[in-house]
Structure 1
Amino acid sequence: MTTFAAFLLASASIGFLFANVGAQDQYLTALSDLQQLVTSMDATLQDLKADVQDIKAALQGGCTVGNDATTSGGNTGTTSGGGEVPPSGLLVPSDSGDFTHQAALDESERFILLWKFDSDTITFEAQVQTTGFIGLGFSPNGGMTGSDVIIGWVKDGQAYLTDRYAEGYFLPRLDASQDVELLSGYENGTHTVLRFRRRLRPCDTADDKEITEDTQRIIWSFNDNDPVGLDGPDGPQYHGSNRGSKSIILLQKNPPDLDLQEGNVITFDMINPNVKVPSKETTYWCSTFQLPVLDKKHHLVKVEPILQPGNEGVVHHILVHQCTTGSNPPSGNQECHTMPWGNCRAVMAAWAVGGSGYTYPDHVGFSLGTANDPSYVVMQTHYDNPQRLSDVYDNSGIRFYYTPEVRQFDAGILEVGIQVSQNHAIPPQADTFDSTAFCYKECLDPFLQELGEPIHVFASMLHAHQVGVGVKTKLVRNGVVKTYLGRDESYDFNLQETRFLDPEITVQEGDELITECSYRTTHRPGFTFGGEASSEEMCQNYLQYYPRFKLDHCDSLPEIMHSLSFFGITQIDNNLQVVKPDSMAGTNIGVVLNQHPWTKEEAERLDQHIRSGPVVVKCKGRPGFTNLAGITGQVWNPLPEPTVLMSNSTSVSGC
């Protein structure tokens, strides 16, 4: 026998003989057999090691442009004709322990996706409740057309994988270049499991989608039957209702693990008291909480949402605002239309739809328990109820994790972006309309000088509403874009996750920040204005940083009269009625804006007009330092367009 099972049987017989000391002959014979078995196994292991080296060499061969047979490093089938039987794939048991990320793509958890990545490649494992084929795609918008698709299956002990492109709502065609590496595949009585790898930057730029740090629209499908062939009538059949899409940030840095030892980490819950959600589209609800009374400094180290089951579609976001130390906070809980509410303004914690909360890095925490820290907070919940449901009661909230084991640095949150106002206007029929906000060095520098050192940004939460399709904050140093303090060119309103920056980014004296939001309004007949409702718009970035300084808000807002000059309006009254010119006198400015003959070209012209005009500055600090910079409310010219240094190389290594 030359199997591991034989080894176990031999070992068992030896154990039995130990109990029968008199059976020495049998014992010596068993030892001799065991020695021969070990020698045989050693030879087998050497053969296996050689096989593994061969496989690794094949997998490291890189992708091949124009390959019309198989992808180097993995069996992906042939593309020379429909109905051919692909070569067999590597069939080994799966070990999921080395993956760093995991997500269920459907609510029933029938399609589980695991992944890990490095600087060049991303490796997936799909675990799907089917014994037929499975499909995974990277879509530009959540639909099928234009998607980079992978379809694979396991049949008769052989694993198959194909690289495809979806030109419409029919079977995606096979790519001329098969650039996905099949690593393993198997199935049992209920599930199919496929593991495969691909490049982040593909060789096949025509059919394959680059995977970036942006939000990715993942489409998925499966069928309970294996295909007979690769393509045509014998290829994968229609998946029926077994399909869907999900937005995922694939290249997100994982937060650190938090040690939840008893007595080391304490929790504090802030829960809305069975609020009856009003039957209107938008409600902001405020509840006041006293923070735990502490005898020494502690650090807040984790923030986690507590969402009442069934209310996930109504609870849009939650902000925790800290109240000024020594002030009388507002009492109770009630509807609040704007923040600040009372003396509670600076954001202490934030969560928004789709997010899972966040854990602070090991060297950072939010200070609690000192004379300079808040005793009270106001938790503001945004209820989004477009269906105007009248029977929703909510007990959602936020959980704080805090510890007496104080860390090296105190964290803070700095809000940058466009001040929420109806002066922020976005026209209809725009395929892409950009709004821009500025955080000037004249605002940042006095606060950095008071601190005496730079700040280090370790996370950001980008925030826009339903027509937002892109959000980014540029760090500009000496007129050049040095990097981004958060960026998503494929923003999804329903996935607003706190994103950790790797590496952390330093903001120093002389730096300026430019926050840009892109909107798509081709489906809207009228203007979209800034406001708190989900159907209105925002453009903000909540930057988490250390060490904490006295600045809370560094925003701007387009100057309204410059914006209205695009339409020939030169004077308005406090009721937003046109005063001049006489031909428009008495007309509401909203009517003038919506009656304009909007086209994509006109939207672009307004975009350029507003971008070149002045803005109103907002530079707000903590109490006692509110006007440290002394420029809030002033009208400033926009910053000049910064230089973006681009790499001269457009090639992909190994292609």
Structure 2
Amino acid sequence: MLQVSGAMACDLLFRLFLLLALAAALQSNRLGPTSRLRYSRFLDPSSVMFLLWDFDLEAEIISFELQVRTAGWVGLGVTNRYTNVGSDLVVGGVLPNGNVYFSDQHLVDEDTLQEDASQDAELLGLTEDAIYTTMRFARPFRSCDPHDLDITSDTVRVLAAYGLDDTLKLDREHTFVKSIFLLQVVHPDDLDVPEDAIIHDLEITDFLIPEDDTTYACTFLPLPIVSEKHHIYKFEPKLVYHNETMVHHILVYACGNSSVLPTGISDCYGADPAFSLCSQVIVGWAVGGTSYQFPDDVGISIGTPLDPQWIRLEIHYSNFNNLPGVYDSSGIRVYYTAQLRKYDMGVLQLGFFTFPIHFIPPGAESFMSYGLCRTEKFEEMNGAPVPDIQVYGYLLHTHLAGRALQAVQYRNGTQLRTICKDDSYDFNLQETRDLPSRVEIKPGDELLVECHYQTLDRDAMTFEVVENTTGWIPDIIPTPPGPCLESSGGKVEAQDKTPAGFRSSPVALSSSSKATLRRLPLAAVLLVQSTLSGLLAMLQTRV
């Protein structure tokens, strides 16, 4: 299996670094039975099951509302990547006589439910009408019951099921698993929308997708022509519906303004040296992602003499079924405004550089790869001293063998923090995510990207093109889990309690809601993007 990707290194966009401090909001929502739940998603292809949720980061409690087109029972829980056995499932329904039943359970096998000895879900409402059964409940991120899987900042595989009547028996036709990033700290509705917003599309038109497994198609396009400085504040994918997902990722690279660029659509990694003139990523999207709006105080600068006028649009197609005659017109839509934000934004890209060969052996339960970036080289590459870098978000990316990723920061030889991680990575859910608070990177820090792969389903070597360099990879100290919350109802058995970090009194839910402002350093976006995986970070400077 040969997979080739563009060069991924930690040497991009180092001219945008004058940083100041700003106020950033952290969420602290107290949720009750009638509180508005800000997030929502359909859980099945037929849109029968609709989930709403919200959470209180301070109390570490999450609330769910599941609406299902059925007169039977409904269930919602969390499962893992490999099997539903052992998954937790909160179930409930309304009997024909109007009585309500509700229980915290788990799967002892693929078809059988068993009630937990510890009841860690709190019922907030359960109704049934002519169309829907609706169940709302709250549970702690981490209970003291080993049958309850944790709600974390990783990708969470949500398990949902329902029955056509009130017999609690799992039917695989009515059981679904969907990967969701539940703990989103910023909701799009919380961001400002400029009144003078302008749309500009960057797209490939009527491109015949080759019948090859993998194609990297590139073209050169102009950015919006403006006579004065503007800011791009949002982007979203423009995807053409096909019978299968063929667009793997879309990247927008800034080109040097003195570049003489070719026309038409060509292979991104062919012989044409012009493609190397546009290597600075400014926007990245991957499969499973949606639109992303930058924080209210940052944007991508366009319209000044230092800003790019042209971009290289790269679309990675995966035509694994080698379908003939499929045309595509996908791309990226950007939104820009004349209402300038406080800071310009850029991208720091970390990971594995292409050349020569990196491989993953077949049949591997766990195979680790590492990319180490030494920021002491930034000044040499930039040609001038580099101020502190601030990070506000990230995007993790690896291919099908990827199982987990993390980016860790070191200072003076000591691990400082884990900037971002996902121990439950799902190839089909690659999205830009906001950090709960902004992270400062100082010159001299080291940034380590760890990529975890599994190839138990492969019988041949997996080759990927990356750079192998020598150097010591520092140890990573895992972050210990937070405290669990004791059940507010039901029995907690002795073996269910966590000896360390046990919190005996759960924080009660209420119907009030507030946001807490905290003074934080200015920040930027951190994304992981590479063939194996890598890390990109959007940096920002003062306007």
By how many angstroms is 1:510 displaced? 2.0
1:547-577 Cα deviation digits (max 9, x unpaired): xxxxxxxxx832xxxxxxxxxxxxxxxxxxx
Name which structure has the greater RCO, CA cutoff 8 Å, separation 6+: 2
Distance 1:100 1:226 in 2: 30
Residues 1:389 and 1:644: Cα distance change in structure 2 (over 3 Å): closer
Residues 1:332 and 1:393: Cα distance change in structure 2 (over 3 Å): same
Which residue number in structure 1 is paired with residue 501 of structure 2? 651
By how many angstroms is 1:167 displaced? 2.4
Which residue number in structure 2 is paired with residue 638 of structure 1? 472
Residues 1:430 and 1:327: Cα distance change in structure 2 (over 3 Å): same
Greater mean deviation of Cα atoms: 194-203 or 637-646: 637-646
Which residue number in structure 2 is paired with residue 200 of structure 1? 141
1:401-444 Cα deviation digits (max 9, x unpaired): 01111111111111101223452211112111110110013323
Q: Given the alignment of the two structures, is residue 102 of structure 1 paired with residue 102 of structure 2, yes or no?
A: no
Residues 1:451 and 1:269: Cα distance change in structure 2 (over 3 Å): farther
Q: Which has the higher helix share?
A: 1
Structure 1 contact 255–500 (Cα < 8 Å) conserved = no
Query: SS of the residue aligned with 1:126?
Result: strand
By how many angstroms is 1:309 displaced? 2.0
Aligned length: 453
Give the counterpart of 1:179 among 96, 120, 135.
120
Structure 2 contact 194–339 (Cα < 8 Å) conserved = no
Residues 1:324 and 1:261: Cα distance change in structure 2 (over 3 Å): closer
Q: Given the alignment of the two structures, is residue 300 of structure 1 paired with residue 232 of structure 2, yes or no?
A: yes
Which residue number in structure 2 is paired with residue 213 of structure 1? 153
Residues 1:448 and 1:333: Cα distance change in structure 2 (over 3 Å): closer
Structure 1 contact 437–557 (Cα < 8 Å) conserved = no
Give the counterpart of 2:67 among 105, 119, 127.
127
1:330-384 Cα deviation digits (max 9, x unpaired): 2222333369714111111000000013111011111101111111111100111
By how many angstroms is 1:473 displaced? 0.6
1:23-80 Cα deviation digits (max 9, x unpaired): xxxxxxxxxxxxxxxxxxxxxxxxxxxxxxxxxxxxx9xxxxxxxxxxxxxxxxxxxx
Identical-pair percentage: 37
Distance 2:421 2:45 in 1: 28
**1:415 maps to amino acid:** Q
**1:145 maps to amino acid:** V
Query: SS of the residue aligned with 2:467?
Result: strand
Which residue number in structure 2 is paired with residue 352 of structure 1? 286
When normalised by structure 2's length, the TM-score is: 0.79
Structure 1 contact 142–217 (Cα < 8 Å) conserved = no
Distance 2:429 2:105 in 1: 27
**2:211 maps to amino acid:** S
Structure 1 contact 255–360 (Cα < 8 Å) conserved = no
Which residue number in structure 1 is paired with residue 217 of structure 2? 285
By how many angstroms is 1:646 displaced? 5.4
By how many angstroms is 1:645 displaced? 7.1
Which residue number in structure 1 is paired with residue 433 of structure 2? 499
Query: SS of the residue aligned with 2:403?
Result: strand
**1:361 maps to amino acid:** P
Structure 1 contact 460–485 (Cα < 8 Å) conserved = no
Which residue number in structure 1 is paired with residue 24 of structure 2? none
Distance 2:244 2:295 in 1: 28
By how many angstroms is 1:504 displaced? 0.8
Distance 1:243 1:132 in 2: 14
Which residue number in structure 2 is paired with residue 549 of structure 1? none
Describe how 1:371-386 pairs up with structure 2 within 5 A: 371-386=305-320
1:483-522 Cα deviation digits (max 9, x unpaired): 2232101111111010111101000122110000000111
Query: SS of the residue aligned with 1:145?
Result: coil
Q: Given the alignment of the two structures, is residue 508 of structure 1 paired with residue 442 of structure 2, yes or no?
A: yes
Q: Given the alignment of the two structures, is residue 432 of structure 1 paired with residue 342 of structure 2, yes or no?
A: no
**2:327 maps to amino acid:** Y
Query: SS of the residue aligned with 2:395?
Result: strand
**How large is the RMSD of aligned CA atoms in angstroms?**
2.3
Task: Tell me which stretches of 4 or more aligned residues in structure 1 moved more than 6 Å.
Answer: none
**1:301 maps to amino acid:** Y
Q: Given the alignment of the two structures, is residue 475 of structure 1 paired with residue 447 of structure 2, yes or no?
A: no
Q: Given the alignment of the two structures, is residue 146 of structure 1 paired with residue 80 of structure 2, yes or no?
A: no
**1:654 maps to amino acid:** S
Describe how 1:259-338 pairs up with structure 2 within 5 A: 259-260=192-193, 262=195, 264-310=196-242, 313-337=245-269
Q: Given the alignment of the two structures, is residue 557 of structure 1 paired with residue 391 of structure 2, yes or no?
A: no
By how many angstroms is 1:168 displaced? 1.6
**1:299 maps to amino acid:** H
Residues 1:418 and 1:240: Cα distance change in structure 2 (over 3 Å): closer
Structure 1 contact 256–362 (Cα < 8 Å) conserved = no
Describe how 1:225-244 pairs up with structure 2 within 5 A: 225-227=165-167, 236-244=168-176
Which residue number in structure 2 is paired with residue 118 of structure 1? 56
Which residue number in structure 2 is paired with residue 367 of structure 1? 301
Residues 1:530 and 1:641: Cα distance change in structure 2 (over 3 Å): same
Query: SS of the residue aligned with 2:392?
Result: strand
Query: SS of the residue aligned with 1:495?
Result: coil
Distance 2:78 2:422 in 1: 16
Distance 1:159 1:267 in 2: 50
By how many angstroms is 1:260 displaced? 4.3
Residues 1:642 and 1:197: Cα distance change in structure 2 (over 3 Å): closer
Q: Which has the higher strand share?
A: 2
Bigger radius of gyration? 1
Distance 2:46 2:134 in 1: 17
Which residue number in structure 2 is paired with residue 69 of structure 1? none
Residues 1:340 and 1:468: Cα distance change in structure 2 (over 3 Å): farther
By how many angstroms is 1:449 displaced? 8.8
Structure 1 contact 448–509 (Cα < 8 Å) conserved = no
**2:116 maps to amino acid:** D
Structure 2 contact 125–136 (Cα < 8 Å) conserved = yes
Distance 2:199 2:362 in 1: 46
Query: SS of the residue aligned with 1:444?
Result: helix
Distance 1:461 1:197 in 2: 29
